[in-house]
């Protein structure tokens, strides 16, 4: 029996990976241009880290984590998201005390969700985090940075939703209001929500069950219970976004799927991907470091789902990247192969970044030309007995009707560069 891939875990084949690379490098360059530095983290963390940061009563911790006991009996978990690991690394490496860091990371995340379009069990995120920054300036800058990604890649079918969750104290008061409200309509709640009512009523607002939406719509909203500092923070953020010309909608029911957020939360959503509309989500998590045993440290970040990002780019008319060689070297006859190796290296020296393919595995002139054509190369470079004898290369355009020309070997780089 042939081996199967694990359900919900995809191979990214070379053609798709080429497009991923283009988008990933665009995002990396943008993060760099805002002063963010890369951090690389382990895929495995102690299970406890995610239980304490993401929160016990969340979908991720309750039912989606890939958790196992290693041979030493420790409970480890494949990371479902990157923020907890970044904060842990900040604490482990003493990066949080009297310092500020703007960091990005990328890589696979693991959640045992029901696989469907835009929702996988191994998926990838690009993640940025600003540690030690109180905002609201950094909140605005992070959002402006995400907007630049859409502009750069000409992605237009996205809209920004914004909310604030207030301070922990304000949220405690709001929580009490929510419990009152949902207790009064308990018969309309689904099983998950009834459980959440006791443990974590804010989570009910994050329910994806369509049957719950009407009750959620009518629930009291956090915005009416904000503490003055959070209200000022939110207003200042809105003023900065207005000044930067970034449109948004305030969505008072946006709570996000993890427990550690406070104050600013936001989500870029699209109508181009069916039910999985969130492409980039983030928020402020001022209480997280302290919750994990560190000193209070303000922080904010966002994460973009790369699978959804790539799909959205293509839906918005982005061209799939197609890496094609600049030249394919055809070598026929005794001694031609060694010369072809040398020519290929000269081209790789002289045309950095361009792709040069050498015919591998021999074959007749005709079959090598077929491969050259199939490779998508702009030119076939032909090395046979005649060319060897007089120090030239046959340059045959493969994508036009122009005729083959004979070029002295020392002029080859210049010819192809032009």
Do 179 and 201 contact (CB within 8 A), yes or no? yes
123 binds, among Mg ion, ligand ATP, none (CB under 5 to 8 A by kind): ligand ATP
Give the DSSP letter string of 35-82.
Answer: T-EE----SEEEHHHHHHHH-TTSHIIIII-EEEE-TTS-EEEE-S-S
Element (H, E) at 381: strand 379-383
Residue 128 in the binding site for ligand ATP (CB under 6 A) = no
Q: Residue 151: exposed, middle, or buried by beta-carbon count in 10 A (0-12, 13-18, 19+)? A: exposed
| C-beta closer to ligand ATP: residue 84 or 416 | 84
Long-range own/partner contacts, residues 154-157 (CB < 8 A, 24 or more apart)? 154/316, 154/317, 154/318, 155/312, 155/313, 155/316, 155/318, 156/316, 157/270, 157/271, 157/272, 157/312, 157/315, 157/316
Residue 279 in the binding site for ligand ATP (CB under 6 A) = yes
Rounded to the nearest whole angstrom, what is the least distance from the CB of residue 268 to Mg ion in the complex? 15
Q: Mask of contacts with ligand ATP, 240-269, x by CB under 6 A?
A: ----------------xx------------
Q: Which residue do the tokens 């998201």 mark? A: 81
| C-beta closer to ligand ATP: residue 146 or 167 | 146
Residue 207 in the binding site for ligand ATP (CB under 6 A) = no
- Candidates 278, 331, 407, 412: give the one binding ligand ATP (CB under 6 A): 278
280 binds, among ligand ATP, Mg ion, none (CB under 5 to 8 A by kind): ligand ATP
Rounded to the nearest whole angstrom, what is the least distance from the CB of residue 412 to ligand ATP in the complex? 46
- Pick from 357, 355, 359: nearest CA to 369: 359
| C-beta closer to ligand ATP: residue 259 or 286 | 259
125 binds, among ligand ATP, Mg ion, none (CB under 5 to 8 A by kind): ligand ATP
| C-beta closer to Mg ion: residue 161 or 230 | 161
Q: 14-33 and 137-152 helices cross at what angle (nearest 10)?
A: 140
Q: How far, in Å, are 91, 99, 152, 184, 379 from residue 94 at the CA level?
A: 5, 9, 35, 48, 55
- Candidates 125, 167, 270, 392: give the one binding ligand ATP (CB under 6 A): 125
Retrieve residue 146's tokens: 């995400």
Q: Which residue do the tokens 């081996």 mark? A: 3
Rounded to the nearest whole angstrom, what is the least distance from the CB of residue 353 to ligand ATP in the complex? 31
148 binds, among Mg ion, ligand ATP, none (CB under 5 to 8 A by kind): none
Rounded to the nearest whole angstrom, what is the least distance from the CB of residue 21 to ligand ATP in the complex? 19
- Backbone φ and ψ for 300, nearest 5 degrees, come out as -155, 150
Give dist(CA 347, CA 132) in Å, integer: 48
Per DSSP bridges, beta strands 327-331 and 356-358 are parallel
Q: Which stretch binds ligand ATP (CB under 6 A): 300-308, 370-378, 391-399, 400-408?
A: 300-308
Residue 280 in the binding site for ligand ATP (CB under 6 A) = yes
- Pick from 185, 178, 257, 285: nearest CA to 222: 178
276 binds, among Mg ion, ligand ATP, none (CB under 5 to 8 A by kind): ligand ATP
Retrieve residue 347's tokens: 């081209």
Q: Mask of contacts with ligand ATP, 68-107, x by CB under 6 A?
A: -------------x--------------------------
| C-beta closer to ligand ATP: residue 182 or 309 | 309
Residue 315 in the binding site for ligand ATP (CB under 6 A) = no
* Residues within the interface to Mg ion (CB under 5 A): 257
Which residues make up the interface to ligand ATP (CB under 6 A)? 81, 111, 113, 118-120, 123, 125, 256-257, 276, 278-281, 303, 305, 307-308
């Amino acid at each position: 029996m042939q081996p199967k891939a694990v359900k919900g875990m995809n191979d990214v084949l070379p053609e798709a990976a080429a497009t991923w690379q283009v988008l990933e490098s665009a995002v990396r360059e943008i993060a760099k241009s805002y002063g963010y530095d890369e951090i690389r983290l382990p895929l495995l963390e102690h299970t406890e880290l995610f239980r304490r940061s993401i929160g016990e009563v969340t979908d991720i911790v309750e039912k989606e984590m890939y958790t196992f006991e290693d041979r030493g009996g420790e409970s480890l978990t494949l990371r479902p998201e990157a923020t907890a690991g970044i904060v842990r690394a900040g604490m482990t490496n003493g990066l949080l005390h009297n310092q500020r860091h703007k960091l990005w990371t990328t890589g696979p995340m693991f959640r045992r969700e029901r696989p469907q379009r835009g929702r996988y069990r191994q998926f990838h995120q690009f993640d940025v985090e600003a540690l030690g920054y109180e905002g609201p300036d950094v909140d605005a800058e992070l959002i402006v940075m995400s907007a630049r990604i859409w502009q750069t890649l000409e992605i237009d079918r996205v809209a920004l939703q914004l909310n604030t969750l207030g301070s922990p104290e304000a949220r405690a008061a709001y929580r009490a209001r929510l419990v009152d409200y949902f207790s009064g309509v308990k018969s309309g709640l689904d099983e998950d929500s009834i459980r959440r009512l006791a443990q974590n009523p804010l989570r009910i607002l994050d329910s994806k069950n369509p049957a719950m939406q009407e009750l959620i719509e009518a629930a009291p909203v956090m915005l009416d219970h904000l503490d003055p500092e959070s209200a000022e923070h939110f207003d200042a953020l809105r003023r900065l976004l207005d000044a930067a010309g970034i449109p948004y909608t305030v969505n008072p029911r946006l709570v996000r799927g993890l427990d550690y957020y406070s104050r600013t939360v936001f989500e870029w959503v699209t109508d181009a991907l069916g039910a999985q509309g969130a492409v980039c989500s983030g928020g402020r998590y001022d209480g997280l470091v302290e919750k994990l045993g560190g000193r209070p440290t303000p922080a904010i970040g966002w994460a973009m789902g790369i699978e959804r990002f790539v799909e959205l780019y293509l839906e918005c008319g982005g061209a799939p990247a197609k890496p094609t060689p600049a030249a394919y070297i055809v070598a026929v006859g005794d001694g031609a192969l060694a010369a072809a190796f040398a020519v290929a290296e000269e081209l790789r020296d002289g045309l950095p970044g361009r792709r040069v393919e050498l015919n591998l595995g021999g074959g007749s002139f005709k079959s090598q030309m077929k491969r050259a054509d199939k490779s998508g190369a702009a030119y076939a470079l032909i090395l046979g007995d005649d060319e060897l004898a007089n120090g030239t290369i046959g340059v045959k355009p493969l994508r036009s009707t122009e005729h083959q020309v004979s070029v002295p070997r020392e002029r080859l780089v210049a010819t192809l560069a032009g």
